Chain A
């Protein structure tokens, strides 16, 4: 035994905190701007790089990856060092991680307004940035796992488990969902298409929420809540159940974003069932967090840190009740694509992430600068006004979301749609959009106030690094990894997981299998935490596992791969989507470039291309969407939000002239529309020289183009554009036949046409 002095690397924590605050302000400022654009279309300023479709991804990326990303890294670096009682393994890697992440954020802030996007929500960044993200993430992972090697605390506290799950799962999600074939340095096409792309994207999208916005923050909760109230976590045993149940169940829930779509029904049901099951571990975590306050509830009155953390956890509880509820198909039918989802997301982002971040910052900054908080009153003001801001925001969105959902489905006594014009629902929501600006602005203003408070706090002190003296113990004999893996307990886990994996090929209604699998897993869990595997040391299976971070990480990987593989592999192998192959036709070169413009302008942020098999939708839009219709769509553009109507059946619905007028001045054809003007497309020409290459890349992805299609692409595109231009000229519109606007019209006129043709051919 010997004593050693540890000086923690707290400068990296300070850097991440201030980066988080800075980018938080930027992200929320853009949020207020896009909220204003939805209330006043004039706020798009008729400028391409300021239009809603390009700025909304900037807002979401900035808040998720810049604000929350930097915040979670700050929390992880601070708590990991103290929980493992060692300094981070490499200061250099810590610096590379910090600066690399900031460069990625800057690259995102430049490219997204330029329209450089992959067109997949929360995964918009193009392939060079995707590679940079993967590299920086690996640097972070190496530094993190290397630190385990140097640790002076044998067992790993529950916060670290959540960090491990975050690092492993985000890496898997990011790499799989970003797989794409580059067209050039600024453009790539997803290797997946249509329904398969949708499934992969929402497996990623949902679990980005789970493993980027939730698990690391839960780790932070398990560290900072006990710190703030000076009491240990309410139930450590509950945290074990919370962790494994959450990690295992979350990964299955992605398809609840695709209910009533052309995704196979079994995958939708699986997503719904596991989402509902998620309620239990989520509330287990919430209860564990809140009950940590036992005997210290008085701190809620006096300590702003505890206020923020307790309110944050409460928002987590509300969001994780609402999420499973929204995953129930009948509720989803009402809420999907409406502002209700926006309310749900912001209750989580502002309430859970925003308040947990504030609580952590207010606790950390005085300690990192060896001083006291500049103004407690200001922090209290931040809490109450910020809370009012969140409540105003979500109340407004609940009201508009319910209004939209009910109006879209309302039928009159004669069986016709009560509100046949989609815009009626948007006009009815308009007042709520003003209220949203007020709520969002209040939250932003209090966040700026926090920044001021924390900067003044930092200036009143000096940057310090924490120091501890630890007793380094000699290595003790451990339970071997082999013994852990060969134990009957682990065999039970394997059997349970294998049974659950079979759900992919068996129907979910065979509930006996599900219940049996869960029963096996529960028995295994009980044995894991209770039965001693190591008699002399008195350790249970799980306690022994807690001392083996690499085995722990491997088991987390297995746990998250089971759900992902069970849901994703069968659809990738399925021939179902190809059974109508003869009906789907590839895009013409002009339509293809028009589609790229549609993706670039972020039209999917407001328009879906997915008519759900609901009476009100088929009456409003036409026949429901089928999987084969989007089989050549790299990426899919089903969308998730309707601020404008669904476009799946728009092809051939209106003449070219209507589209021209609508794109140049949306209010000229659609009174009350919030759509930005796309007149700037008329001033930009299509680069016809790139068309052969575009078609060639699509062919490489499996779209059935011939060599002649590739060779003749520019000529065919020019011919098609000339025809559209001539048609417009005959109706009094003079426009260049090379403009991007015509390519967009060509694409819009193509959407859903295959289905019309197929329906005509049917007897």
Chain B
């Protein structure tokens, strides 16, 4: 089964460990990127488009 899956990905020459490593890295990256406590970091810059013109002339 594992070998068939690896073959599907064109990775028949590689070990399953490579796949596990890649998937783990991918999942960790997603978790790190979207973790909630970090979201405040971009609060200021993401508000930029919301600032309206103060006046017209």
Binding site for B on A (CB under 8 A): 7-8, 79, 82-83, 153, 155, 157, 159, 222-224, 226-227, 230-233, 235-238, 241, 367, 370, 464-469, 508-512, 515-516, 518-519, 522-523, 525-526, 529-530, 540, 543, 546
B53 engages A526 (CB within 8 Å): no
Verify A159–B49 contact, CB threshold 8 A.
Answer: yes
Contacts of A83 in B (CB 8 A): 48-49
Contacts known (A227-B49, A512-B14); A466 close to B56, Cβ less than 8 A: yes
Contacts A367-B53, A510-B13 given; 5 further ones with Cβ under 8 A?
A227-B50, A236-B42, A236-B45, A237-B38, A468-B55
In the assembled complex, which residues on chain A have CB atoms less than 8 Å from the CB atom of B43?
A: 232
Known A511-B9, A511-B11, A515-B22; judge A237-B34 contact (CB<8 A). Answer: yes
Chain B residue nearest to A222 in the complex (CB): B49
On whether the beta carbons of A236 and B46 are closer than 8 Å, the reply is yes
> Which residues of B11-52 have CB atoms within 8 Å of chain A's CB atoms?
11, 13-14, 18-19, 21-22, 25-26, 28-29, 32-34, 38-39, 41-43, 45-51
Partner of A464, one of B38, B42, B56: B56
Are B18 and A512 within 8 A (Cβ)? Answer: yes
Question: Hey, which bits of chain B sit against chain A, CB under 8 A?
Answer: 9-11, 13-14, 18-19, 21-22, 25-26, 28-29, 32-34, 38-39, 41-43, 45-51, 53-57
Check B28–A526 contact: CB distance below 8 A. yes
The distance in angstroms between the C-alpha atoms of A522 and B33, with both chains bound, is 11
Q: Are A233 and B22 in contact (CB under 8 A)?
A: no
Instruction: Decide: B34 and A235 in contact? CB cutoff 8 A.
Output: yes
In Å, the complex CA distance between A518 and B22 comes to 8
Residue from the list A79, A232, A467 in contact with B50, Cβ < 8 A: A232
Chain B residues contacting A516 (CB-CB under 8 Å) are 18
The distance in angstroms between the C-alpha atoms of A79 and B51, with both chains bound, is: 11
Is the beta-carbon distance between B10 and A511 smaller than 8 angstroms?
yes
User: Nearest Cβ distance between residue B54 and chain A, in whole angstroms?
Assistant: 5
Task: Enumerate 7 A-B pairs (CB-CB under 8 Å) in ascending A order.
Answer: A83-B49, A226-B46, A367-B53, A509-B10, A522-B25, A525-B33, A526-B32
CB-CB under 8 A from B14, the residues of chain A are 511-512, 515
- CB pair A464–B57 under 8 Å, yes or no, is yes
Please name all residues of chain A whose beta carbon is closer than 8 Å to the beta carbon of B45 when the two chains form the complex.
155, 157, 236, 546
Closest to B51 in A: A82
B11 engages A530 (CB within 8 Å): no
Contacts of A157 in B (CB 8 A): 45-46, 48-49
Known: A237-B39, A511-B10, A526-B29. A226 touches B34 (CB 8 A): no
Which of chain A's residues have a CB closer than 8 A to the CB of B22? 515, 518-519
- B54-A79 in contact (CB<8A): no
Contact A370 B56 (CB under 8 A): yes
Inter-chain CA distance A752–B56, complex, in Å, is 66
A209–B10 alpha-carbon span in the complex (Å): 30
CB-based nearest B residue for A520: B25
User: Nearest B residue to A155 by beta-carbon distance?
Assistant: B45
Q: Which residues in A have their C-beta under 8 angstroms from that of B19?
A: 515
Q: Which residues of A contact B10 (CB under 8 A)?
A: 508-509, 511
Contact between chains at A467 and B55 (CB < 8 Å): yes
Set of chain A residues within 8 Å of B38, measured between Cβ atoms: 237, 530
Q: How far is the CA of A230 from the CA of B33 in the complex (A)?
A: 25
The smallest beta-carbon distance between B38 and chain A, in angstroms, is 7
List the A side residues contacting B13 at CB < 8 Å.
510, 512
Known contacts A226-B49, A227-B50, A237-B42; A525 and B9 CB within 8 A of each other: no
Contact A468 B53 (CB under 8 A): yes
Are A519 and B11 closer than 8 Å at their CB atoms? no
Assess the B29–A525 pair: CB atoms within 8 A. yes
B56 and A79 form a contact (CB under 8 A) = no
Q: How far is the CA of A127 from the CA of B55 in the complex (A)?
A: 45
A231 vs B48: C-alpha distance when bound (angstroms): 10
State which of A236, A469, A529 has its C-beta within 8 Å of the C-beta of B54: A469
- For A370, give the chain B residue with the smallest CB separation: B56
**Nearest-CB residue, chain B, relative to A79:** B49
A530: chain B residues at CB < 8 Å are: 32, 38
Contact of B21 among A82, A159, A519 (CB under 8 A): A519
Residues of A within 8 A of B47 (CB): 232
Q: Which residues of A have CB within 8 Å of B21?
A: 519
Chain A nearest CB from B43 CB (Å) reads 8
- Interface pair B32/A153, CB less than 8 Å apart: no
Candidate in B11, B26, B33 with the most chain A CB atoms within 10 angstroms: B33
Which residues in B have their C-beta under 8 angstroms from that of A223? 49
Taking A232-B46, A511-B10 as contacts, is the C-beta distance between A519 and B33 under 8 angstroms? no
Question: What B residues does A238 contact at CB under 8 A?
Answer: 33-34
